[in-house]
Homo-oligomer: A and B are copies of this chain.
Amino acid sequence: MKVIIVGGVAGGASCAARLRRLDEKAEIVLVERGPYVSYANCGLPYHVGDVIEKESSLLVSNEQVFRAIFAVDCRTRCEAVAISPKEKTVQLKNHATGEVTTESYDKLVLSPGAAPIRPPLPGIDLPGIFTVRTVPDAREIRNWLERTPTELPEEGASSGFAPLDKAKRAVVVGGGYVGLEMAENLAHRGLEVTIVEMLDQVMAPLDPECARLVERHLEKHGVRLALGDAVAGFEQKENGTLEVQTKSGKAYPADLVILAIGVRPETALAKAAGLELGQRGGIRVDEHMRTSDPDILAVGDAVEVKDFVTGEWTLIPLAGPANRQGRIAADVIAGRDSRFRGTQGTSVLGLFGATVAMTGANEKLLKRLGQTDYEKVYLFPNSHAGYYPGAKTLVLKVLFRKSDGRLLGAQAMGQDGVEKRIDAIAMAIQMGGTVYDLEEAELCYAPQYGSAKDPVNFAGMVPADVLRGDMPLGHWDTLDGAFLLDVRNPPEIAVEAVPGAVNIPLPALRARLAELPKDREILVICRSAVRAYYATRILLGNGFKARNVSGGMSSRSMIVAKQRA
């Protein structure tokens, strides 16, 4: 059996190594267009930022290892330029020699990845505008940042582009994962960074009110945000800098521009071969990673996968799923019944000492799908026991089905213990878990690590209280004209009050019930909805109609700020 694998990074490299382990005799050819296989593209921004100092650190494996240990015919600088599914052949172009050869296959695996989007804007090809996908990309950015006049080839003369002593200002186009990681790393190197983002929020996988916290965090660390604005073009100025011009008419000077608008599945080869593509523009595969041609499989960023939670087709360019898909493709080629269960979009971002993580569906997606059988809660627990030094507030948004408590998704932000809560919730979602399962979760507790009631437990307890009817829920964006009761203490209210809210501090509530209306629904507010929960229970237990405003003042600052913006 001869297997050709096109693309040698996460999905392709995993597939090649796994296939060799399953079949000692197969002929395996791994071709990679670029100079390296199996490199750490998730590390590129950190190499630009000098956090990962050596470029060689990014090279997780190499051609020689694939040859010596996996007996894989590994060819770099070799590009698959055409497929003939009928003849079961691939045309391979050797970029070193320019030679094109035709090779036959029994099975073909496509792992071409996704390419950074590079819109055809005026000036897009000017020097100083970079994308971040490959090791050479990172090298070029580093060279650009460290350039000295002599190192700049022909530049001064041919383009009128004067060399800089040192890049001082960067514009990052796009506020997604790569954009934010690049922003942090460029700031880390001392550059002033502006992010231009077409959407009115950074990090599209987050709901906007959660993204607002990330935006504040960026601003706090000196990153300037231009949200809701798109780049119109780039211009080269006489003083040797670039100017990024936006549709709203603004102009941002830049010594360096990073294009991180997103990625597009590399489907040209598949399309030309007549393989079926999906509505989202990726290669269509079944759960065995087989394309519409049963002898051609596809994996990684180029394929559409099923969203595990919603069942929708989606594009998830993440390394974890790519690796698993590569393994599954190898299994299937080796005759095994492995299936990809879909993806739940678990992801994490580190940003100036904070962590943002998420798993499952967000509320935007549920709304877009027209789903109404869901509820959400906002929580602000401590990262570990408050009595042990160093506890930080975690922000958690949990989405769950109203009808049965099934977990749909979670978003978390904070400085400590963020991703481990999302990991536990991701595992629960994978297992079809409910909020009741989180309620009963038994996780590691010692005061420096968590709390006897872990944030994950709260992420179950609070929704369960809602679903059992113990805590009817209110939300800031749907309060319209309700009776508002603020149970915080006067000094807290002096700092920030909710217009129109009546104040009765929680400890005084039972004695002052007569001041409250029995015929109106009372929406109860406190700082983070814990005291308001107690108050809601007191009110319900005394015959009042009451709801707890989820997340209290803490979520208000996310939601109301976003509405104003």
Contacts and interface: CB of A to CB of B under 8 A. Distances in A.
B447 A42 contact: yes
A444 B42 CA distance: 13
Interface in A535-565: 537-538, 540-542
A538 B69 CA distance: 9
A388 B440 contact: no
A60 B451 CA distance: 12
A333 to B, nearest CB: 15
Contact of A447 (B21, B40, B533): B40
B385 A440 contact: no
Nearest to A425: B427
Interface residues of A, number: 86
A452 B323 contact: yes
**Which of A42, A343, A389, A452 has the most chain B CB within a 10 Å cutoff?**
A452
Interface string A36-76: 00001011001000011000011010000000111100000
A433 interface: yes
Interface in A395-448: 419-420, 422-424, 426-428, 430-433, 437, 440-448
A24 B427 contact: no
Given A387-B60, A389-B52, A447-B43, A24 B318 contact: no
B537 A46 contact: no
A43 B388 contact: yes
A528 B43 CA distance: 25
A42 B448 CA distance: 10
A82 interface: no
Interface stretch (A115-123, A260-268, A346-354): A346-354
Number of copies of chain A assembled together: 2
Given A58-B387, A431-B431, A444-B419, A538 B24 contact: yes
**Which of A346, A446, A507, A540 has the most chain B CB within a 10 Å cutoff?**
A446
A445 B25 contact: no
Contact of A348 (B52, B69, B386, B444): B444
Contacts of A388: 43, 46, 51-52
Contacts of A430: 437, 440-442
A346 B419 CA distance: 19
Contact of A320 (B25, B443, B534): B443
A476 interface: no
Given A71-B510, A426-B442, A447-B40, A541 B453 contact: no
Given A51-B388, A388-B43, A426-B444, A452 B348 contact: no
Given A51-B388, A446-B42, A449-B419, A23 B541 contact: yes
A124 interface: no
B452 A322 contact: yes
A288 interface: no
Nearest to A53: B389
Contact of A443 (B70, B346, B441): B346
Interface in A310-331: 318-324
Contact of A426 (B318, B422, B432, B443): B443
B440 A341 contact: yes
Contacts of A442: 308, 320-321, 343-346, 359, 426, 430
Contacts of A379: none
Nearest to A539: B24
Contact of A470 (B22, B57, B318): B22
Contacts of A510: 71
Nearest to A358: B444
A357 interface: yes
Contact of A534 (B40, B58, B69, B470): B69
**Which of A345, A442, A456 has the most chain B CB within a 10 Å cutoff?**
A442
Nearest to A534: B69
14 contacts: A21-B470, A22-B537, A24-B537, A24-B541, A24-B542, A308-B442, A320-B443, A320-B445, A420-B420, A423-B456, A424-B424, A424-B426, A427-B456, A431-B432
Interface of A: 10, 20-25, 40, 42-43, 46, 51-52, 57-58, 60, 68-71, 308, 318-324, 341, 343-350, 355, 357, 359, 385-389, 419-420, 422-424, 426-428, 430-433, 437, 440-450, 452-454, 456-457, 470, 506-507, 510, 531, 533-534, 537-538, 540-542
